[in-house]
Homo-oligomer: A and B are copies of this chain.
Amino acid sequence: MAFESLTEREKAILQSLIDYYIAMATPVGSRVIANKYKLGISPATIRNTMQDLEEMGLISHPHTSAGRIPTDKGYRVYVDTLLEPEELTYFEEEQIKSEILVDYAAVEDLLEQTSRVLANVSNQLGITIAPRFDQGILTRINLIPVAEKKILVVLAVKHGLVKSVLLEAESNVKTEALDKAANILNERLCGLTLGEIKNSMEQRLKDDSTADPKLIKLFLDSSENLLNFPETEQLHLGGTTNIVDQPEFKDREKLKSLIELIEEKKLLAELVSAKGIRDGITITIGKEIERGEMQYCSLVTSSYRAGKVSGTIGIIGPTRMRYAKLISLVDYTAKLLSEILSK
């Protein structure tokens, strides 16, 4: 739809209305707009324009004789054409830096911390997802005997990311046999991305004769397990309590279904990375998110890079959120994170 066709007045009113609504969380009437924003027109005129906006589906009435509130579509227009990003304050930037730039033992910790910072600054739910391993370049495979019949496979990927998976062998395996197999695997697979390995592993390993074929077979059979990285554990959330306070979740049922979703991290991860990795900020509003539990939420996400691989960070909150600010926040944080991880 060509929303550039909105008149200047319509734009101004829509913007004022949404700004006010975001700040106050209460339906906004014509009088408020006339008073707070000096548009030089009377409440009556504003009312007329508001009727037009309502017909276009950008705002709506909770009931006769309450003020208007934005619809998802209204937010969409606001975000796409009206909003002017609100820069982070010096203080906020310093806060983010100081809280993220601490020593971290593993990338996991860094991401956990980042999710908290996002939550604190935004007063919403902060979310971080570890880089997708697919594009990561394998630097080394290790096979470690952990217990009888149990082998730990450690996949090390460039830039400090590590994934370990436990495999169960059919029979006891000797350490030497493991070492031999590991050698072959390293020889033939290192330097490739995990995605490439997943596709071509069978080819690359078939004509070997030095390693125990049983082991190689086990390895191949487990490729699903090894190379399919469920996003489950890689997701970090901070600030769950923030949403408990939001007026939009006064309704118990809504709160419950959202918390349920939060606990189902797998689903959530899929949802957040659904849009795929792309540069810059992505905003998804209300029903645009394909999940009933989140129909009253919006998502502001961005991707970050760690060498060749990239992950996603973002913020989840009610559709009534401070987009102007949060865009800056997510953007700044994503860039900072990329910087840290690429050094």
Contact = CB atoms under 8 A, between A and B. Distances in A.
B158 A154 contact: no
A212 interface: no
Interface stretch (A60-68, A142-150, A275-283): A142-150
A256 B250 CA distance: 12
Nearest to A166: B106
Instruction: Say whether chain A's binding surface is mostly helix, strand, loop, or mixed.
Output: mixed
A259 interface: yes
A105 B160 contact: no
A239 B152 CA distance: 30
A245 interface: yes
Contact of A164 (B154, B237, B262): B154
A149 to B, nearest CB: 10
A145 B138 CA distance: 12
Q: Which of A108, A144, A145, A260 has the most CB of B within 10 A?
A: A144
Contact of A244 (B105, B142, B259): B259
A260 to B, nearest CB: 5
Contact of A154 (B152, B160, B225): B152
A317 to B, nearest CB: 16
A202 B15 CA distance: 66
A165 B151 CA distance: 18
B241 A105 contact: no
Contacts of A262: 240
A166 B105 contact: yes
A140 B108 CA distance: 24
Given A146-B160, A240-B262, 15 more contacts: A105-B166, A139-B145, A139-B146, A139-B147, A140-B146, A142-B154, A146-B156, A147-B158, A147-B160, A150-B160, A160-B166, A162-B164, A240-B260, A240-B263, A241-B259
